[in-house]
Structure 1
Amino acid sequence: MTRLSHWLGAAGAMALVGLATPAAAAGTQAGTTITNTVTVNYKVGGVDQTQQTASDTFTVDRKVNVTVAEVGTTTTQVSPGQSNAVTTFSVTNLSNATLDFALTVAQQTGGAGAHSNTDNFDVSNVRVFWDSNNSGGYDSGDAQVAYLDELAADTARTVYVVSNVATARVTGDVAVVTLTATGREGLGVGAQGVALVQTTTANTANMDTVFADGQGATDAARDAAFSAKDDYTVLAAALSVTKVSKPISDPVNGTTNPKLIPGAVVEYCIAVANATGGATASSVDLEDVVPTMTTFDSAYGIKLNGTVTGGVCNSDGTSGGAYANGTVTGQLPSVAAGSARTLMFRVTIN
């Protein structure tokens, strides 16, 4: 009997080794029962005896594991006053069971961000969405969620943290956000499951639960959760405006050393400069009320998008803009960081 028991144990162990090989990263589905049976045939006095068998069955326990990762390797660039600024994460269920995952976002108060930068402000109206329409980017068709419902083993979902940026922020400001996914029981579609409880006693005959997750950005290992950071970095345009005038001609001197006397033609140049290191300013609208003691020079018109050299306006703009009700208006399509663009017009002194 002792020898037979030894053989049974050895045969059972070899069978278990073969059955334990996982089919996917998460491994065999939790709750699966694994059974193997050994068969023993023998003779007594040369006569076949009744076959002996022994079986063993156990239940695969549940390994809870999840990871959250920033999508991309750079900070999310945003503009002052931007609404619905998006930073993207992936949440992957590495467990061997279908689970719900609660999603929470925390904002950091100072300290290092995700990309060698330092947090110094908070975004507002923070919401979480997942890519429910599989468009590959945040859009109006995505669902706002507080948890991921029934996320199957070895499955990932794309999650968006969507926020607003205050208008007063300047270039280099950083807001760090941390997304945490916490495993919950998967009890069916449409309702978030209750908190998971790890089995701390000896292995039972039922499906036990083991927390196997690693340490995240702000959470500990083996807590059924994982967290990751990403951040918003502000890139603003820092515009400055200068306005200068110069006489072009007068009725006495012509164009030679003209003076600002009645009948003189005066040229105005409005220069919009954008500081280096910032963002390009686009759709820059200008509006200038022509002085009542002057008359707009419609023959010269309005010149837009000229350049500046050494602080002096160049006469290289193109015709555009409008003059109506005593006001000059025009739009500069863009002013890149480290450059300046101009609007120019002329008047005659009454």
Structure 2
Amino acid sequence: MTRTLRLLTSASVLAVAGFAATPAFAAGTTAGSTITNTVTVNYQVGGVAQNAVSATDNLVVDRKINLVVAQLGTTTTSVSPGQTSAVTGFTVTNSSNAVLDFALALTQSSGGTAAHGGTDNFNVSNVKLYLDTDNSGTYNAGDTLITYLDEIAADATKTVFVVSDIPLGKSTGDVANVRLTATAAESGGAGSLGATVTQTSGANTAAMDTVFADTNANNNVAGDGASFAENDYTVLAAALSAVKTSKIISDPINGSTNPKMIPGATVEYCIAVSNGAGSATATSVALSDPLPSQTTYLAAFGIKVNGTVTSGACNADGVAGGSFASNTVSGTLSNVAAGATSTLVFRVTIN
């Protein structure tokens, strides 16, 4: 290999390496850039080389407006009735070849199929939008309350969290669908939302024209300088039911053999709390049972909580707990999971 060839080869390797290190931008050449192209013409007269002539053409790169709003995540946000600060989210990508602001609008559906299935049947409240300031992908206290996206670079993607409250009284499977729409706006400078971008009409001009390149993907309208996507909240509630039963334990005449409900008889009450299958786990399940005036609480037996039920009958397997005050039996059950039953048992005597 000659020295010249070796040098050329090395230069080629460097050129390839340099090309590979150059980042590729989907948005393309920056809007407003001037592309200059100069041609040189060499010629001879009578075999003598003459001064070359040249010609230059300048063109201004027009602005292509394109943006995409997409769901954050692939599943619905599971929420509880009465939950505050429930979070779902979206990503907003500036696929334009220019820095832009984006006006944001959050709207709620009124019926119809929700983003992840099911039918929209309620609205959330106290809705706020937050920018994922630290790019963590998770809503936290450091995120910024916003109404628009400010100075978004070409090819940049921002995450917007929707934070809202869920009304009480909702049942498992209820769905609230939300839509985030982003509309392209001029770069208004840091801290200021620019005017809505308008498309250049008519023939191409020598200046920087504007072309809307957004598509009709995901039911959007093509070429309107805006994009939307939908996400939703789905309620997972507890479905508690309570059954209160009583059985006679003994009486002063018959003891525990065929006892009757006579004064002085001991009666055992059982409160069984059940949670429906497929429901959310019920926590802090507090029971309060004022006693009838014709009965007297039997302190010697106490109160047993977190017992079980077999074939609809309470078992005597609870643990000591609860309290008795102001003629009222109270107790708190441990978490009652979906499909589970837990009991509170106590005894009284008939006055």
What residue number does 2:4 align with?
Answer: none
What residue number does 1:341 align with?
Answer: 342
1:85-121 deviation line (CA, Å, top 9, x unaligned): 2211111111111100011011112112112221222
Shift of 1:219: 3.6
What residue number does 1:124 align with?
Answer: 125
Q: How does 1:1-350 map to 2 (within 5 A)?
A: 23-215=24-216, 217=218, 219-350=220-351
Question: In 2, are the aligned partners of 1:172 and 1:234 still within 8 Å (CA)?
Answer: yes
Distance 2:331 2:142 in 1: 37
Distance 1:134 1:298 in 2: 59
Distance 1:185 1:118 in 2: 37
Distance 1:314 1:97 in 2: 72
Could you tell which deviates more after superposition, 25-34 or 275-284? 275-284
What residue number does 1:15 align with?
Answer: none
Unaligned runs of 5+ in 1: 1-17
> 1:133/1:22 Cα in 2 relative to 1: closer, same or farther (>3 Å)?
closer
Distance 2:29 2:331 in 1: 68
Shift of 1:218: 5.4
Question: In 2, are the aligned partners of 1:216 and 1:226 still within 8 Å (CA)?
Answer: no
> 1:216/1:180 Cα in 2 relative to 1: closer, same or farther (>3 Å)?
farther
State the AA in 2 paired with 1:42: Y
Shift of 1:322: 1.9
What residue number does 1:12 align with?
Answer: none
Could you tell which deviates more after superposition, 141-150 or 214-223? 214-223
State the AA in 1 paired with 2:78: Q
Distance 2:57 2:307 in 1: 86
Shift of 1:22: 8.6
Distance 1:213 1:26 in 2: 12
> 1:299/1:216 Cα in 2 relative to 1: closer, same or farther (>3 Å)?
farther
Shift of 1:226: 0.5
Shift of 1:185: 0.3
SS of residue matched to 1:335: coil
Distance 1:105 1:216 in 2: 19
Shift of 1:278: 2.3
Distance 1:295 1:22 in 2: 83
Distance 2:327 2:182 in 1: 60
Which aligned runs of 4 or more in structure 1 are off by greater than 6 angstroms?
A: none
Percent of matched pairs sharing the same residue: 60
Distance 1:95 1:309 in 2: 66
Question: In 2, are the aligned partners of 1:22 and 1:28 still within 8 Å (CA)?
Answer: no
Distance 1:238 1:320 in 2: 24
Distance 1:316 1:60 in 2: 80
**TM-score after normalising by structure 1:** 0.89
Shift of 1:192: 0.5
Distance 2:23 2:49 in 1: 39
Shift of 1:80: 1.5
Question: In 2, are the aligned partners of 1:29 and 1:97 still within 8 Å (CA)?
Answer: yes
Unaligned runs of 5+ in 2: 1-18
State the AA in 2 paired with 1:171: T
Distance 2:106 2:267 in 1: 59
